[in-house]
Chain A
């Protein structure tokens, strides 16, 4: 077991990076991925199955692979193991009389879909937290300059006409006073929710302009 440990660790590392880069093009956030519990469960299950595949491969063809004298034989075995496990998980099916008794591919796809949805939920929560933090900074930046903040709101919401923007601002002011919230904070939150990059840019540009 001890001598197999580096190969097992190698399989778990390769499995981790495979899954990480497999989901990245869809979720586009390493931070959200690494903060998602089901992603880690997915990795553990996949790595355990790959470890079993490693054991089978070593038992069946270990001496033959070592006999080739290939300098990176261990690395090749690790990569083959993970690729083999992916292949089996994505396509293993037992069909009898037109009925699929076992469809591992479908099961894995379903689990992967749930993992992606969980990552997106975490990503949405992180986006919300970021917008709230930027809104707080925006309020500090525009302290005592409510008109400027209103102008920035009009800029962000420029897809609607100015009359509608006026009505929206009046409505927001009413809602803020009805709930006891500061109008400036409500305005800053709305800007950050609609366009968090622009809100960050406003905070940054103001800080740059007041810096000595």
Chain B
């Protein structure tokens, strides 16, 4: 495992406390775990500037990774993201 239990717990806390972060995470999980920033903005009807911050926050927590940055980037779940996905699915 490339991440610690502490970082998993803090990522979990972020998703449980921040509804926007959880919304982005759930959108990605419902798709094929990848999405462009603009695709997320369109589907979640999010303000572009606010969404960029949410994506950056998710990335710095290690939940997602990206190719590129901002809304022009393409985002995908990291190994921790998949672990969190399993957590929310199986409890």
Q: How far is the CA of A121 from the CA of B78 in the complex (A)?
A: 8
Q: How far is the CA of A127 from the CA of B34 in the complex (A)?
A: 8
**Footprint of A on B, CB under 8 Å?**
1-2, 31-34, 36-39, 41-42, 45, 48, 65-68, 71-72, 74-83, 85
Question: Across the two chains, which residue of chain A brings its CB closest to B39?
Answer: A194
Q: How far is the CA of A156 from the CA of B42 in the complex (A)?
A: 8
Q: How far is the CA of A33 from the CA of B66 in the complex (A)?
A: 18
B interface majority secondary structure:
mixed
Assess whether A87 is interfacial by the CB under 8 Å rule: no
Q: Is the CB of A26 within 8 A of B82?
A: yes
Assess whether A28 is interfacial by the CB under 8 Å rule: yes
Question: Across the two chains, which residue of chain A brings its CB closest to B1?
Answer: A110
**Footprint of B on A, CB under 8 Å?**
26-29, 106, 110, 113-114, 116-117, 120-121, 123-125, 127-128, 131, 156-157, 159-160, 168, 190, 193-196
Q: How far is the CA of A113 from the CA of B79 in the complex (A)?
A: 5
Q: How far is the CA of A113 from the CA of B75 in the complex (A)?
A: 16
| Among candidates A128, A168, A194, residue contacting B67 with C-beta atoms closer than 8 Å | A128
A-B contacts, 8 of them at CB < 8 A, read A113-B82, A113-B83, A114-B79, A116-B82, A159-B45, A193-B36, A194-B38, A194-B42
Q: Total contacts A to B, CB within 8 angstroms?
A: 79
Q: Is the CB of A117 within 8 A of B39?
A: no
| Among candidates B41, B76, B79, residue contacting A124 with C-beta atoms closer than 8 Å | B76
| Among candidates A27, A128, A156, A190, residue contacting B74 with C-beta atoms closer than 8 Å | A128
Q: Is the CB of A123 within 8 A of B36?
A: no
List chain B residues, Cβ under 8 A from A159.
42, 45
List chain A residues, Cβ under 8 A from B72.
193
Q: Is the CB of A113 within 8 A of B36?
A: no
| Residue among B38, B68, B85 facing the most chain A CB atoms (10 A cut-off) | B38
Q: Is the CB of B81 within 8 A of A124?
A: no
